[in-house]
A = this chain, B = another copy of it.
Amino acid sequence: MIDRKKKMMIDAKAKILKALAHPTRIMIIEKLSEDGECCVCELVELANADFSTVSKHLTVLKQAGIVSDDKRGQQVFYTLQMPCAVRFMDCLESVIKSGVKSQMEMLK
């Protein structure tokens, strides 16, 4: 069994991970990491999806504390607030690449 405090921590982690677990949101995060803050319209172009769709993805990221927003004029600019998310993505990238490599080894 597991105590309540631990359970809450696990649920909090799950919430963040769920927010990260979507291709469009990953693209957004990586873009924000590379370019710094972006307005929604830039991210719409990147994601090649509906404006409303991207806006909803950004809401998910914001509610998980992964990005923050700042309205200036008509535009809203989003900024990455969780650098360790990107570090983890990079780690995943090397895991995936080495996985592919070892799969290719098996095929020999």
Contact = CB atoms under 8 A, between A and B. Distances in A.
Contacts of A30: 10
A13 interface: yes
Interface in A24-77: 26-27, 30, 46, 48, 65
Contact of A96 (B12, B21, B27, B89): B12
Question: How many copies of this chain does one complex carry?
Answer: 2
Interface of A: 1-2, 7, 9-14, 16-18, 20-23, 26-27, 30, 46, 48, 65, 82, 84, 87-89, 91-93, 95-96, 99
5 closest Cβ contacts across the A-B interface?
A17-B21, A84-B91, A18-B21, A88-B88, A14-B23
Given A2-B27, A48-B1, A65-B99, A92 B21 contact: no
B82 A16 contact: no
Contacts of A48: 1-2
A28 B52 CA distance: 36
A37 to B, nearest CB: 19
